[in-house]
Amino acid sequence: MPYPLLRTIQCPADLRALSIDQLEPLATEIRQAICDQVSRTGGHLAPNLGVVELTLALHYVFDFSQDRLLFDVGHQCYPHKLITGRFGLLNQLRQTEGMAGFPEPRESDYDLFSVGHAGTAISTAVGMARGDQLLGNTNRRVAALVGDSSIVNGIALEGLNNAGTLKRQLLVVLNDNGMSIGKPQGALAGYFDKVRLSQTYKEMKKRAQEVLRHLPGGQTLEEVYHRFGEMTKVALAQDHMFEKFGLLCLGPVDGHDLPTLIETLNDLKDLDSPVLLHAKTIKGKGFEFATGDPTTFHSPKPFRVEGCRVELKSSGRSFTTAYADAMIELMAEDEKVVAITAGMPDGTGLAKVAPEFPERVLDVGIAESHGTDMAAGMAKAGLKPFVTIYSTFMQRAFDQVFQEVALQGLPVRFAMDRAGLVGGDGAVHHGFADIAFLRLFPNMALLAAIDEPTLKAALRFMLRCDDGPSAVRYPRDSVTVPAVQPDTPPFELGKANPLAGGDDLAILAYGIPAYDALEARTQLDHDGYSVAVYDARFAKPVDHELIGQLVESNTPILTLEDHAVGGGFGSAVLECCNARGLPTHNVHRLGLPDRWIYQGARSDQKAEAGIDAAGIARAVRRVLETGSLPPITIEAHSPTQRPRPMR
């Protein structure tokens, strides 16, 4: 029976019943369990291997059935889930109705926020600390676990600035693996290096002990400083930058040394002021292949370990790779093209482009707002920036797209990967909103690619968009080979592209669902229905001529998108008809419903939303047989209609 010790842990109380010596073998079992599972199904590996001891120590010292534990990003929550009653769910990691790959309050009360976007834990921790204080629950301690790449995100820094004003306990554990998701970026990354090497945890401990013995509760940091002066200061990480934010800073400690971590946390847990504990960890700790290549093993596909060789199961050619190759072409042709990523060089494919054009590929770290404004500045200076970003992270720069890009009419290009349903990452990462919020901006051109030829053509079109912003979306998926039109015609502003003819109904598909539409068309053909499929190509502006012709010829239209059906492409088609006095009783919309779709296979999620081939065929039959579709969006939202917790 594998994992004998881990099996016995039903809840953190079981963990606290163990002796400190037993935690080491438990840590080993946890690492093995995670590695075995991720090698089968894929998932986040290196981040979880790095925080095993930190997680065990936190649960050993705090009681998070009362105290609050906030995870930043959340992709490092597997060890936490394994010791909070979810070991039995591990084999359904990231599967439909299984265990989410991120914290998920629907699974357990030990998960406070479902997160996947970085930088938020300190801010929510400050909120819970203030909330508990105002409600008189001051016995509830608050701890936030934050990585070194997240803590330099703007929201985290805003949170620290506010945390420094707290007059109560708050612990921020800085999990510093010097790695972030890719390489760390920005001046602070270099600064952390210096700090990390500034002293050993032993010296720190000795000095910290001294101070902490003398630290009465209930004191603000200022008082502490005033009262103990130098004596306090030496106990702190020398001149740690977060001191300036008003936090008592300790460390660095070795984030894999359980006895020290537990002792330190015990010293700190009741300290009545905001504290930052700087812990030094190794990303991928425990498996050489992972520590050796923590970027590849940050969130790998399934893989097989053959002795010292590791073999990643290969999937098809992804849109991400297609984008990287297309950019290498464009950048070779036009030296004004630059590409920007916010901490995702691998996820966006730019890691492949950087070696070719080291000066023109920039990684700003997890700072989407800054990256977008920097791109605006570069465009203003005369460059042609392509901000390469996941659709879900584009949401983090909404106001910068508004003010620094769209309002200025600057030609910043946005390449939005992971548009639509994303599969295993679930609700925190779907790209369900980009069409709706980007089409609000005057002069914004919105494009979608359905395969590699159209992605290349779209990027070429955007390269020519010299006096206004543009954005292209493409999914977390493989490109279909062979493409339906290997020699796809060039993009022309506001023009759709016919893929297949038919007289009974026309599907206007925006983005990759066009391929599902073609598959549905084949099925419908067997039923004797003749359906046309158009690659809509543009959500702004939509092809008003085509739409006009179809409406006037009384051809039923089905709009199709892997985006919220409310406010998205179909909504733009409705508006187009309405603004021209065209009737819409023949216009029907298919897209994502007005509710959350949780983790699972992308194919399952498409089926759930009814935008897979079967769902599309079903919708077309229904339209042709009854003349209408059942309402997709749930307009009636009594708050009580919120999905009930799973438990």
Binding residues for its own copies restricted to 416-435, rule: CB under 8 A:
427-428, 432-433
Output b/e per residue, 452-487; b: 16+ Cβ within 10 A.
bbbbbbbbebbbebeebbbbbbbbbbbbbeebbbee
Taking CB under 8 A as the binding criterion, the range among 55-63, 306-314, 452-460, 622-630 that sits at the site for its own copies is: 622-630
249/274 Cα distance (integer angstroms): 9
x/- mask, its own copies, residues 78-107, rule CB under 8 A, reads ---------------------------x--
Q: Partners of 172 in the beta sheet?
A: 144, 276
The catalytically annotated residue of 68, 205, 283, 476 is 283
Question: Contacts with its own copies in 320-379 (CB under 8 A)?
Answer: 336, 338, 359-360, 362, 364-365, 367, 369-370, 373-379
Indicate the Cα dihedral angle 572, 597, 396, 175, nearest 10°. -170
Which residues contact residue 485 at a Cβ distance below 8 angstroms, ignoring those fewer than 6 apart? Answer: 453, 497, 499
Q: Is 178 in the site for its own copies (CB under 8 A)?
A: no
DSSP conformational letter for 478? B
Q: Quick one: tokens of 139?
A: 């016995």
**Annotated catalytic residue 283:** yes
Eight-state DSSP code of residue 430 = -
For 388, 545, 590, the CA distances from 643, given in Å and listed in that order, are 33, 41, 22
Closest of 11, 147, 149 to residue 70, by C-alpha: 147
Task: Give the integer Cα–Cα distance in Å for 258 and 89.
Answer: 26
Which amino acid, one-letter code, is at 273?
Answer: S
Site residues for its own copies, 474-493, by CB under 8 A, read 493
Residue selected from 268, 572, 617, 619 as contacting its own copies according to rule CB under 8 A: 572
Of the two residues 317 and 595, which places its CB atom closer to its own copies in the complex? Answer: 595
Residues 7-36 interacting with its own copies (rule: CB under 8 A): none
> Does residue 576 interact with its own copies by CB under 8 A?
yes
Catalytic residue among 396, 456, 473, 537: 396
Q: Where are the alpha helices (DSSP H) in 527-593?
A: 544-552, 569-579
**DSSP 8-state assignment for residue 396:** G
- DSSP letter at 421 equals -
Which range of residues in 58-66, 109-117, 310-318, 607-615 is near its own copies by CB under 8 A? Answer: 109-117
Of the pair 59, 413, the CB lying nearest its own copies is at 413
Rounded to the nearest whole angstrom, what is the least distance from the CB of residue 489 to its own copies in the complex?
A: 18
Contact pick of 48, 185, 273, 605 for its own copies (by CB under 8 A): 185
Question: Which 223-242 residues touch its own copies, going by CB under 8 A?
Answer: 239, 241
Q: Which residues pair with 445 in a beta bridge?
A: 470
Q: Is 577 in the site for its own copies (CB under 8 A)?
A: yes
Our answer to whether residue 141 is catalytic in this structure is: no
456 noted as active-site residue = no
- Minimum gap (Å) between residue 538 Cβ and its own copies: 10
Residue 105 or 302: which CB sits closer to its own copies?
105
User: Minimum distance from CB of 528 to its own copies (Å)?
Assistant: 24
Nearer to its own copies, 308 or 381 (CB): 381
Do residues 588 and 556 lie in contact, with contact meaning Cβ atoms separated by under 8 Å? yes
Nearer to its own copies, 503 or 545 (CB): 545
**Under rule CB under 8 A, residue 128 binds its own copies:** yes
Question: Which of 76, 84, 120, 180 lies at the binding interface for its own copies (CB under 8 A)?
Answer: 120
CB 610 within 8 A of CB 631: no
- Which among 459, 485, 463, 464 has a CA at the least distance from the CA of 474? 459
Q: 302 or 409: whose CB is closer to its own copies?
A: 409
Positions marked catalytic: 283, 368, 396
